Structure 1
Amino acid sequence: MPIEKVMKRDGRIVPFDKERIRWAIQRAMLEVGVHDDRLLNKVVRRVVRRINELYDGQVPNIENIQDIVELELMRAGLFDVAKAYILYRKRKAEIREEKKKILNKDKLDEIDKRFSINALRVLASRYLIKNERGEIIESPKELFERVAVLSVIPDVLYDERVFDRNGGHEQDLSALEGYIKNLDEYDGKFSIGRFKLNKYHFERFINLYRELAEKGQMKLPIDEVVQMLENGAFDKYEDEVEEYFRLMTSQVFMPNTPALINSGRPLGMLSACFVVPIEDDMESIMKAAHDVAMIQKMGGGTGLNFSKLRPEGDLVGTTTGAASGPVSFMHLIDAVSDVIKQGGVRRGANMGILEVWHPDVEKFIHAKEKNVGTNVLSNFNISVGLWEDFWEALKEGKRYPLINPRTGEKTKEIDPKSLFEELAFMAWAKADPGVVFFDVINRRNVLEPAKGEKIRATNPCGEEPLYDYESCNLASINLAKFVKYDDEGKPYFDWDEYAYVIQKVAKYLDNAIDVNKFPLPEIDRNTKLTRRIGVGMMGLADALFKLGIAYNSKEGFEFMRKATEYLTFYAYKQSVETAKKRGSFPLYEKTKYKNGELPVEGFYHREIWNLPWDELAEEIKKFGVRNGMVTTCPPTGSVSMIADTSSGIEPIFALVYKKSVTVGEFYYVDPVFESELRKRGLYSDELLRKISDNYGSIQGLEEVPEELQRVFVTSMDIHWLDHLLAQANIQLWLTDSASKTINMPNDATVEDVKAAYLLAYKLGCKGVTVYRDGSLSVQVYSVESEKKKQRVKAKPSKYAVEKLKAIVEAEPWLSRFINVEAILNGTNGKEKSVQTGGLTFSVSHVSVPKPAHEHPHHAEKPEIPEEKIRELLGAAYCPVCYEKDGELVELRMESGCATCPRCGWSKCVIS
């Protein structure tokens, strides 16, 4: 009789699945260039027949079956395929051993097997719980269970048996103290179905009960609710925990880093993004330093607008001395960040903003100029905040007034064109400062009437504009997971499943607000006034690869728009549903939502709708909405590595690059690209070397078909105009902003940067970060080395050319700064010797050690003086990889932030 069961290596008995055999044989055939479905089917039939003959009525183990596959391949004369299969088995065995070593365990479970070695390394280095000796004592399964359990605790307390949104119930809260004092007694005592609550879960349970009871919304006393929990009255929510666990362990979505680290643990802080106010007095300045320390200690990133501080040299009334100015106080915050231990690494993340009208704006623009060798403001991203009046002055050619914030009086007038030049030059030279467009951010700001002011700050990577003491927790959905294949093997995107997952993630993030342990009471209060969430996405590049769509094409931009439109629409749909049961965010009645307005630009362009937005706006007016803002696109450095997908909304950096480890060197290949090469019989070490030498790109390689060259594009294959259009198309449908890098080649000019800033503004972006390859301080190596050159220079797509021409034709004054023809033919600004003029630093004399991939062995740290190491870590190398393994791994610029390609560490701590 046919076998029905098979025994796995860990002893589990599972259903026999011949498709797994088919997949393994097909993989071995493709490895040696055999493309023959009839032969494949014949071998699979023989293998299944042999298994049934040998194990009639028994349960074979997986090793027995693999032995039979080897034998049948040789019997069929497929010796090369058999060899490839044997090598694959050996490789799989090596991978299993490597995973055991990483996770410090003897046996792998099903969840361990789902994640790549790279993903497990990232989890092990930053996320899994370790003991005092630094040994891992938590499995990925246990991590995702503690995250999933915490996320469902609000569902229990909002259950209609215990919750009444209308309030009016009084409860005696004195009993709560007994539970809090004796938390250890309740560690593991209660469950939601099969999932146990640890003491930190229970602490959040008690805390949320207190909050709801203080509003009169708890129908029952705490003792009765705890009794219900003990008796299994809430076990129906086991399915919810199971679903969040499934979605995370299937790599469909990932919460931001603080939530993965802190859920169900002592710190308990889940939010990623914060804004701290700073007023023009010493008390407020020192309070800001304290607040930054408290937030960063728990793993968050902070944004500060320094524009209220009086300029350098201004009068200090109490001492009749001279003020030191905003930049000096940025150094104070930078020093605070330096001494905060974050995720095992001394690094904090800040966004420092100064508005363009401030008298110290020129000093601010040059604040990081001397970064090489001095490690200046290494914990800061900096951005100039621009308003409409600056663009008007630039357009009209009028002088622009600088205003003292202390007196409100004009201190001087400047030439806006010169300031614009300086700003663009420093961004060209140093990748800092970026720019934030505050008038665009506030154009559709529905919260302004409720808050009584405009938004004037963002989180460290710029994707979350926030009010003072607001925070936001984020999660990213992996778009690549929704690419499915029909019966003929053609790819399609499953929009229905995507819509379902968006709603689950929106609910997860709203729940996270209720069980969050905020670092400061002001943040707790202000966050809950607006209940802002950030549903985001990652895996865009991999999804487009699978769909056969070029990132820099009209179809690519249309996909981005539609994916983001769905993201915001269905996040709102869930938010309305939650509001019906639990109530709207507290400031809702004072906002523009009541008038049918939405903070989404695309909503005001009916001609591009794919979904019924007018119906949604009516629902929000009728039922309210739970969350003041709902979508964003954050950087996803290590989070996308855990999900084994491409980072955020970025194209991939390189299709192939060399990685060096203690046992030697190997090529890292994008998995989707590798699969395509194998399918076509093109995979070879020689081709991988050629791609790696070509800046990780396949453009211009004759061995690679044109169709693949069209689809598989990298960051540097894409012209900066197309990078801008990607950000603009995504921005169109977000309630908040997007973290994206506008990549430029090393030979880009200051004129290109100026054009990019103006076009970003006109295209409706809320801010922009331009990165010219090689400008990250002491970085002198590219994907592999300075000798490697890209064969084909990026050209703008037809769609980008049309957009560029349309924008400049619509506003002819822009042609003073945007030379359309020069941009298109690649000569923009190259007749000027602008690249060297004004540069006040040099990298040629710095003795830069070779990056990790240039060193064959890493057993010992390179012999470099301590001060040099400090300088390098502040400039272009990953502090985690150096501190952990002694490797000098170059950072890349991704999603507007310096990110490590090896471990996923990012200057933006959220990712």
Structure 2
Amino acid sequence: MVVEKVMKRDGRIVPFDEGRIKWAIKRAMLEVGVRDEELLDKVVKDVVDRINELYDGQVPNIENIQDIVELELMRNGLFDVAKAYIIYRKKKAEIREEKRKILNKEKLDDIDKRFSINALRVLASRYLIKNEEGKIIESPKELFERVALLSVIPDLLYDERVFSKEGGFEQDLSNLVYYRELLDEYDKKLSIGRFKLNKYHFERLLNLYEELAQKGHMKVSIDEFVKMIESGEFDNYEDEVEEYFRLMTSQVFMPNSPALINSGRPLGMLSACFVVPIEDDMESIMKAAHDVAIIQKMGGGTGLNFSKLRPEGDLVGTTTGAASGPISFMHLIDAVSDVIKQGGVRRGANMGILEVWHPDIEKFIHAKEKNTGTNVLSNFNISVGLWEDFWEAIKEGKKYPLVNPRTGKKKKEINPKTLFEELAFMAWSKADPGVIFFDIINRRNVLEEAKGGKIRATNPCGEEPLYDYESCNLASINLAKFVKYNENGAYFDWDEYAEVIQKVAKYLDNAIDVNKFPLPEIDYSTKLTRRIGVGMMGLADALFKLGIAYNSKEGYDFMRKATEYLTFYAYKYSVEAAKKRGTFPLYEKSAYPKGELPIEGFYHKEIWNLPWDELVEEIKKYGVRNAMVTTCPPTGSVSMIADTSSGIEPIFALVYKKSVTVGEFYYVDPVFEAELKKRGLYTDEILQKISDNYGSVQGLEEIPEDMQRVFVTSMDIHWLDHILAQAEIQLWLTDSASKTINMPNDATVEDVKAAYLLAYKLGCKGVTVYRDGSLSVQVYSVEGEKKQRVKAKPSKYAVEILKKVVENEPWLERFINVNAIINGTNGKNGNAAEKNNKQSLTLNISLSVPQKAKEEAKKGVCPVCGAPTVFESGCEVCKACGWSKCVIS
């Protein structure tokens, strides 16, 4: 008889799958360079025949089958393959044991097995529920179930049996008090199919019912609604919960960190990004400090624009004393953040913004210069808010006025070029401040009239421009999961991607309704616009799988198309939701009814891949549920959970050494590892060589040229190409993108200035430059310190774009030396732009890190595990344990 079932290690009986045997043997054959499909098929047949012979219709267990595989490999003379299989089998056993230790459990379930050790470590350190002794009492399966279940609760309340979009229904809400007093009794009492609502799910359900009922949308009383749940009338939504659970546990998408941590739990806050207003009076300043404390206590990050505060030394009317200025109040907020630990190790994250016209702008630019043991403004990213008039003053060689925000009068005039030099120098030296281009953020701002002004602040990582007290929920889709294979090789499944985008958009829209916002002002402002942020991660891995170089025209075309799909199909969901649930409240006052969209790509029909004109007609007819729909956030620990590359960044290293309790091992990018094994190149020696080469394959003769072209790291890519990648992605986003513009250690201040101008001219909404080593004296790939890194060169396509930008605006030649950028000498030998502007106060900066800076450097070390950190997506992250300075990721 034929064996049809097999017993797994946890005792479950599952169907016998010959394909799994074939894959395991093929993996072992590739490990030792054996590529013979006929031989593979013969061995698999021998294994299956032997199983049927020995077990004759009985149920063997996994270990029995693996023993037979080993034996049949040796019978076929494949001793090296058998050895590789045995080693792999032993390694899998060690991995299972390690996973059990991490999760504090005896038996692993199917979900535990899907995630790598890396991913489980991150989940265990931050996301899984622990008891008072610090022991994990929740499995990954239970985590993703509570997240998925919360996200579907709004579907019940918007069901046409209980919800009326037009409204006009009155309900007695007094019984809500009864249910709220019985939350503990309702813990796990109600269910949607197999999924049981805990008391925190139920509490959010009651809250949303009350909100919709107050607006007249509820057709039934709360008693009737609860009875409908009890009688199973909403059990058809079990499939919706299952789908979100499947998408997360299959690592197709992940919500931002607060949603993973707080869904179905006491805090209940799902948003990561907030902007807090701060006015020029002590009450507002202290209110801002209070608001920051509340938001960060619950796990969020805050952005503040300090430009309304009067400058240092200005008159204080009530006391006739002198004002201390905005920077002093930044220190106040920094101190507040410092005492609010998130997850025990993560400090509060802030974005501090000062606009370029403020009289204290020079002090602000240098605010983080003294990076001593006190860690000045250590809980702040800082950015200079730039407007078009600043660039015009530089272009025309005019003085630039600094204006007192209290009086509205000009305090003094400065040389804008000198300020630009100082700004570039500090970014070169300390990776702070970054720059935000407010005129570009507001160029397509469809909310300006509805909100009565321009956007003037962002969240801590800059990818979410927000109005006062607005917040945003974010989630990232793993692009690598949509790369499929057929007889012609790898391809990207655009149709499945479009479907998932709409599901993730719905997840985020629902999250607004069940979000427990930290302040009433945030609840109100967020629901006026219902902003969501569908984002991407796994870009680098997707390109690896497709055989496309990140820094190539083909790569940029893919980025642009992937982002266009992201926004188009997020809008598709939003239109459908508007039909059933209503538009965002400010829709009629926005520019949407006029046919405008907040995306630059829409205004360039020549680059369309999708029918945007049809979409706009749908929006004009039905409206949209969400004012903004897409962004690209940092995904440090979230992408580690998804076992994929971070955000829209290239990977930082293909191979690097990782220290664990039992010793050291090489971490290898999984897609790169598979390619090495496929080509028979995978050896410990080659891993050592790549690690010694800063984790890069550039210049290694053992690695074929086509692999060197495709498998590029962040430092293999020229800063010009980094900017171009951000600009291409920005074209189709409603909001912004968090990305790091990586520069080598020997990059110059001239490079930084050129990068700022190019980012601005190419339509980026902000930019963060990071020169390798500027945050730390310790290089991550320490093994490569004695070896000269292969210099990154700009791609041909990027050079074409560079030349075109400068040709269109010749004044840029004063700051952008095209030939020097191409040949890598920009600012290193004194370029023409510098010589032609001797009258300006050009700073004299050495190319190496000064000794004083080395002595002062305190950053670059993970506070959790002590490993060196890296800088990506505008954020400091640890690749060893998943710690991130950013609250989103």
Same structural fold, with TM-score higher than 0.5 when normalized by the shorter chain: yes
Unmatched 5+ stretches in structure 2: 831-842
Single out whichever of 787-796 and 120-129 deviates more from structure 2: 787-796
Q: Determine the structure 2 residue equivalent to 1:358.
A: 358
- Please give the alpha-carbon distance, in whole angstroms, between the structure 2 residues aligned to 1:103 and 1:30: 32
Give 1:414-433 correspondences, 5 Å limit: 414-433=414-433
1:658, 1:784 within 8 Å by CA — same for their partners in 2?
Answer: no
Q: Determine the structure 2 residue equivalent to 1:852.
A: none
1:697, 1:790 within 8 Å by CA — same for their partners in 2?
Answer: no
2:563, 2:732 within 8 Å by CA — same for their partners in 1?
Answer: yes
1:694, 1:788 within 8 Å by CA — same for their partners in 2?
Answer: no
The structure 2 residue matched to 1:880, chosen from 837, 842, 864, is: 864
- Please give the alpha-carbon distance, in whole angstroms, between the structure 1 residues aligned to 2:847 and 2:714: 28
- Please give the alpha-carbon distance, in whole angstroms, between the structure 2 residues aligned to 1:687 and 1:84: 18
- Please give the alpha-carbon distance, in whole angstroms, between the structure 1 residues aligned to 2:62 and 2:316: 78
Amino acid at match of 1:824: I
Unmatched 5+ stretches in structure 1: 847-870, 882-887
Single out whichever of 662-671 and 715-724 deviates more from structure 2: 662-671
Q: Determine the structure 1 residue equivalent to 2:750.
A: 751
Q: Determine the structure 1 residue equivalent to 2:667.
A: 668
Q: Determine the structure 1 residue equivalent to 2:811.
A: 813
Amino acid at match of 2:233: A
Are positions 1:799 and 2:797 aligned together?
yes
1:369, 1:840 within 8 Å by CA — same for their partners in 2?
Answer: no
- Please give the alpha-carbon distance, in whole angstroms, between the structure 2 residues aligned to 1:54 and 1:281: 84
Change in Cα spacing, 1:560 to 1:422, as seen in structure 2 (3 Å) is same
Change in Cα spacing, 1:790 to 1:169, as seen in structure 2 (3 Å) is farther
- Please give the alpha-carbon distance, in whole angstroms, between the structure 2 residues aligned to 1:464 and 1:312: 29
Give 1:228-243 correspondences, 5 Å limit: 228-243=228-243
Deviations 1:502-528 (A, max 9, x none): 000000000000000000000000000
Single out whichever of 30-39 and 184-193 deviates more from structure 2: 30-39
Give 1:649-660 correspondences, 5 Å limit: 649-660=648-659
Query: How far is the alpha carbon of 1:18 from its aligned partner?
Result: 0.8
Give 1:487-498 correspondences, 5 Å limit: 487-488=487-488, 490-498=489-497
Query: How far is the alpha carbon of 1:56 from its aligned partner?
Result: 1.3
Q: TM-score, normalised by structure 2?
A: 0.98
Q: Determine the structure 1 residue equivalent to 2:192.
A: 192
Q: Determine the structure 1 residue equivalent to 2:682.
A: 683
- Please give the alpha-carbon distance, in whole angstroms, between the structure 2 residues aligned to 1:578 and 1:834: 57
- Please give the alpha-carbon distance, in whole angstroms, between the structure 1 residues aligned to 2:436 and 2:462: 8
Deviations 1:655-690 (A, max 9, x none): 000111221111100000000000000001111111
Q: Determine the structure 1 residue equivalent to 2:452.
A: 452
Deviations 1:460-486 (A, max 9, x none): 000000000000000000000000001
Query: How far is the alpha carbon of 1:839 from its aligned partner?
Result: 8.5
Q: TM-score, normalised by structure 1?
A: 0.95
The structure 1 residue matched to 2:873, chosen from 884, 895, 900, is: 895
- Please give the alpha-carbon distance, in whole angstroms, between the structure 1 residues aligned to 2:143 and 2:854: 46
Query: How far is the alpha carbon of 1:371 from its aligned partner?
Result: 1.1
- Aligned to 1:184, the other structure's residue is in SS state coil
Change in Cα spacing, 1:577 to 1:841, as seen in structure 2 (3 Å) is farther
Change in Cα spacing, 1:785 to 1:360, as seen in structure 2 (3 Å) is farther
2:262, 2:268 within 8 Å by CA — same for their partners in 1?
Answer: yes
- Aligned to 1:880, the other structure's residue is in SS state coil
- Please give the alpha-carbon distance, in whole angstroms, between the structure 2 residues aligned to 1:829 and 1:475: 40
Are positions 1:910 and 2:888 aligned together?
yes
Amino acid at match of 1:842: K
Query: How far is the alpha carbon of 1:840 from its aligned partner?
Result: 8.4
- Aligned to 1:162, the other structure's residue is in SS state coil
- Please give the alpha-carbon distance, in whole angstroms, between the structure 2 residues aligned to 1:311 and 1:539: 44
- Aligned to 1:186, the other structure's residue is in SS state coil
The structure 2 residue matched to 1:824, chosen from 822, 833, 836, is: 822
1:695, 1:788 within 8 Å by CA — same for their partners in 2?
Answer: no
Query: How far is the alpha carbon of 1:33 from its aligned partner?
Result: 1.4
Q: Determine the structure 1 residue equivalent to 2:480.
A: 480
Deviations 1:752-779 (A, max 9, x none): 0000000000000000000000001x33
Deviations 1:544-603 (A, max 9, x none): 000000000000000000000000000000000000000000000000001000000000
Give 1:410-809 correspondences, 5 Å limit: 410-488=410-488, 490-776=489-775, 778-785=776-783, 787-809=785-807
Query: How far is the alpha carbon of 1:890 from its aligned partner?
Result: 1.4
Change in Cα spacing, 1:358 to 1:786, as seen in structure 2 (3 Å) is farther
Change in Cα spacing, 1:87 to 1:553, as seen in structure 2 (3 Å) is same
- Aligned to 1:544, the other structure's residue is in SS state helix
Change in Cα spacing, 1:788 to 1:180, as seen in structure 2 (3 Å) is farther
Amino acid at match of 1:828: N
Query: How far is the alpha carbon of 1:147 from its aligned partner?
Result: 0.1
- Aligned to 2:852, the other structure's residue is in SS state coil
Q: CA RMSD in A?
A: 1.2
Q: Determine the structure 1 residue equivalent to 2:852.
A: 842
- Please give the alpha-carbon distance, in whole angstroms, between the structure 2 residues aligned to 1:36 and 1:172: 74
1:779, 1:890 within 8 Å by CA — same for their partners in 2?
Answer: no
- Aligned to 2:271, the other structure's residue is in SS state coil
Q: Determine the structure 2 residue equivalent to 1:864.
A: none
Query: How far is the alpha carbon of 1:837 from its aligned partner?
Result: 8.8
- Please give the alpha-carbon distance, in whole angstroms, between the structure 2 residues aligned to 1:791 and 1:297: 43
Amino acid at match of 1:120: L
- Please give the alpha-carbon distance, in whole angstroms, between the structure 2 residues aligned to 1:253 and 1:541: 16
Q: Determine the structure 1 residue equivalent to 2:833.
A: none
- Please give the alpha-carbon distance, in whole angstroms, between the structure 2 residues aligned to 1:112 and 1:419: 54
Query: How far is the alpha carbon of 1:41 from its aligned partner?
Result: 1.0
2:474, 2:533 within 8 Å by CA — same for their partners in 1?
Answer: yes
1:129, 1:137 within 8 Å by CA — same for their partners in 2?
Answer: yes
Amino acid at match of 1:620: I
Identity fraction in percent: 83
Deviations 1:748-806 (A, max 9, x none): 00000000000000000000000000001x33323224724344200000000000000
Query: How far is the alpha carbon of 1:48 from its aligned partner?
Result: 0.8
Query: How far is the alpha carbon of 1:838 from its aligned partner?
Result: 12
Change in Cα spacing, 1:786 to 1:83, as seen in structure 2 (3 Å) is closer
- Aligned to 2:782, the other structure's residue is in SS state coil
- Please give the alpha-carbon distance, in whole angstroms, between the structure 2 residues aligned to 1:877 and 1:338: 17
Q: Determine the structure 1 residue equivalent to 2:14.
A: 14
Change in Cα spacing, 1:841 to 1:419, as seen in structure 2 (3 Å) is farther
Amino acid at match of 1:622: K
Q: Determine the structure 1 residue equivalent to 2:835.
A: none
Deviations 1:611-630 (A, max 9, x none): 00000011000000000000
- Please give the alpha-carbon distance, in whole angstroms, between the structure 1 residues aligned to 2:167 and 2:356: 47
Deviations 1:104-161 (A, max 9, x none): 0000000000000000000000000000000000000000000000000000000001
1:338, 1:346 within 8 Å by CA — same for their partners in 2?
Answer: no
1:774, 1:782 within 8 Å by CA — same for their partners in 2?
Answer: no
Amino acid at match of 1:907: K
1:128, 1:137 within 8 Å by CA — same for their partners in 2?
Answer: yes
- Please give the alpha-carbon distance, in whole angstroms, between the structure 2 residues aligned to 1:243 and 1:389: 50
Change in Cα spacing, 1:425 to 1:685, as seen in structure 2 (3 Å) is same
- Please give the alpha-carbon distance, in whole angstroms, between the structure 2 residues aligned to 1:237 and 1:303: 37
Amino acid at match of 1:812: P
1:750, 1:834 within 8 Å by CA — same for their partners in 2?
Answer: no
1:301, 1:350 within 8 Å by CA — same for their partners in 2?
Answer: yes
- Please give the alpha-carbon distance, in whole angstroms, between the structure 2 residues aligned to 1:464 and 1:400: 29
Amino acid at match of 2:452: G
Query: How far is the alpha carbon of 1:841 from its aligned partner?
Result: 7.3
Deviations 1:70-123 (A, max 9, x none): 000011111111111111111000000000000000000000000000000000
- Please give the alpha-carbon distance, in whole angstroms, between the structure 2 residues aligned to 1:707 and 1:535: 33
Query: How far is the alpha carbon of 1:402 from its aligned partner?
Result: 0.1
Single out whichever of 787-796 and 736-745 deviates more from structure 2: 787-796
- Aligned to 1:753, the other structure's residue is in SS state helix
2:157, 2:163 within 8 Å by CA — same for their partners in 1?
Answer: yes
Query: How far is the alpha carbon of 1:724 from its aligned partner?
Result: 0.3
Deviating 4+ runs (over 4 angstroms): 837-841
Q: Determine the structure 2 residue equivalent to 1:860.
A: none
- Please give the alpha-carbon distance, in whole angstroms, between the structure 1 residues aligned to 2:364 and 2:112: 48
Amino acid at match of 2:336: V
